[in-house]
Structure 1
Amino acid sequence: MPEERPYHHGNLRAALLDAAERGLRERGADQLALRDLAREIGVSHAAPRRHFPNRQALLDALAVAGFARLDTALRTALEGAGEDFASRVRATMTAYTRFATENAALLELMYTSKHRPDATPIVEAAEAPFRLMNELILQGQAQGMLQAGDPTRIGIVLFATLQGIAALINGNLVAPELLDDLVETAVEQFAHGAAPGGLSQVR
C-alpha cells in the first residue's frame, strides 16, 4: 500500500517556491512539475493546487518573488552606500551583477515571464527595482554628474552593461572572481561616457 502523504504543510506556498527555485537552478524550468515538488516536500500531489492551479502559476509566482528579492538587494546596497553619486552607482551595479550571477536561472525566468501575455503581476513587480535604478539616473542628472536628457536612454546603457557582465560570467566566459573588478571598470566607463561633455566626474 503506498505511503499516504499529508495534505497540509506549515507554510506550503513558501516551501513550494523554495523547492521550485532549487529545481529551476538544477534542472531548468521545463523540468518543473507540481507533482514532483509535492513529493519533494512531503505533501500529497493535490496539495500544491491550493496555491498554484498549474505549473505556469508557480513559475509566475517565482518571477514575482525574484523581482521582489532584486528590489530588496538593490535597496539594501543603497542603504549601505554613501550619499555621493559614485558610491551609489557602484553599490547598485555590484548588487545587481551579484544577484544576476548568483541567481542566473531565476533571472532568466524573471525576464522571459515578464514579456508573456497576461503577465501583469510580474510587470508590476519589476517596476520597483527598475524605478530604483531610474531614480539613481535622475539623481546623477540633478547633481550634474550625468548629462541631461532622456534618463531612459542612459539607463538602458547602464542596464546593458550590467547584463553583459552577468552574461559573460554566467556563460563561463569570465571567472566569477573578476566580477568586482569588472564592475569597477564599468562604473568608471559609464561615468566617463554619460558625464556632461563626456568627461568623468565620478572618482
Structure 2
Amino acid sequence: MTNRRTSERTYHHGDLRHAVLTAALDVIAAEGPGALSLRDLARRAGVSHAAPAHHFKDRTGLLTAIAAEGYDLLAEALADAPELRERGVRYVRFGRAHPAHFQVMFQPELLRGDDPDLVAARERAGEQLRAGVAELEETKRGDDARLAGIAAWSLAHGFATLLLSRNLDGPVGDRDPEDVFRALTGLLFAPER
C-alpha cells in the first residue's frame, strides 16, 4: 500500500511555481544565486526532483522568472512617485525589501535576455524610471534626457548596491537609508546660487 501523504507530497503541490520561487529567493538572499539548484529547491518544496523543471525548464529559466518578477515589483514600487528624487528613494526601498530579486535582475549573464516576460517587465520598470526624468525641468535634465536617466539610475542603483553589500554601514550608521539618500541627492543637486 502506498503512503498517501508521501505520494501527494511527491507528486502534487498546490502552487509549485510559487513555492519554488519562494525557496529560490530564500537561497539567493542567504547564499547568492550561485547556490541555486533545482534539485535542492524540489527537496525544499517537498516535490520530485523533476517537478520544478515543468515550470522553469532549467536554472536559467528560474532565474529569469525571478528577474521578471523583480522588474514587475520595481515598476509597481516606482509608479506614481511624485518626483524623480522619490523614485530614487523607492528604488532604494525596493532593493532593501527585495534583495534576492535585486541581485538577480542586474546580472544578464544569468538570464534569458530574450524571454518575453522579462523583456516586458524590464520595459515597464524602465518606463517608470523614464517618467521621472521626463518630469524634470529641462534646465535640470539638460539636452539629453537619456543621459539624465542614466545619471539618476546610477545614483539610486549605486546607493542601493552599496547599501545591500554593507559598504555603507559606517557612513549611514543608525540613520534611515532613505533619508540619507534624500540628503545625498539634495547635496548633489542643490539649486545653484
Scaled by the length of structure 1, the TM-score of the pair is: 0.78
Contact 1:70 1:99 in 2 (8 A): yes
Distance 1:133 1:145, change over 3 A: farther
Structure 2 unpaired stretches of 5+: none
Does 2:103 align with 1:108? Answer: yes
Given candidates 7, 11, 25, the residue that maps to 2:15 is 11
- Residue 59 of structure 1 aligns with which residue? 63
What is the rounded CA distance, in whole Å, between the counterparts of 1:10 and 1:117 in structure 2?
27
Secondary structure, counterpart of 2:10 in structure 1:
coil
Counterpart of 1:199 in 2: which secondary structure? coil
Deviation of 1:117 after TM superposition, in Å, equals 7.7
Residue equivalent to 1:131: 127
TM-score, normalised to structure 2, is 0.82
1:89 to partner: Cα distance = 2.4
Q: Choose from 74, 89, 96 the match for 1:94.
A: 89
CA deviation string 1:104-125 (max 9, x = no partner): 3421211113x66851233432
Q: How many pairs are equivalent?
A: 183
The answer for the alignment partner of 1:195 in structure 2 is none
**Structure 1 position 137, deviation (Å):** 1.1
Asked if the contact 2:78/2:90 (under 8 Å) is kept, the reply is: yes
Q: Structure 1 residue aligned with 2:167, among 173, 184, 198?
A: 173
Structure 1 equivalent of residue 181 of structure 2? 183
Q: Does 1:38 align with 2:42?
A: yes
Q: Is the 8 A contact 2:78 2:87 kept in 1?
A: yes
**Residue 51 (structure 1) shift:** 0.7
Counterpart pick for 1:161 among 155, 164, 172: 155
* RMSD over equivalenced CA pairs, Å: 2.5
Q: Secondary structure at the match of 2:166?
A: coil
Shift, 1:65, TM fit: 0.7
Structure 1 residues 116 and 21, CA, compared in 2 at 3 Å: closer, same or farther?
Answer: closer
SS of residue in 1 equivalent to 2:93 = helix
Between the aligned partners of 2:162 and 2:48, the Cα distance in structure 1 is 41
Separation in 1 of the partners of 2:152 and 2:179? 16
Deviations 1:151-198 (A, max 9, x none): 111111111111221132222222364312321123324543xxxxx6
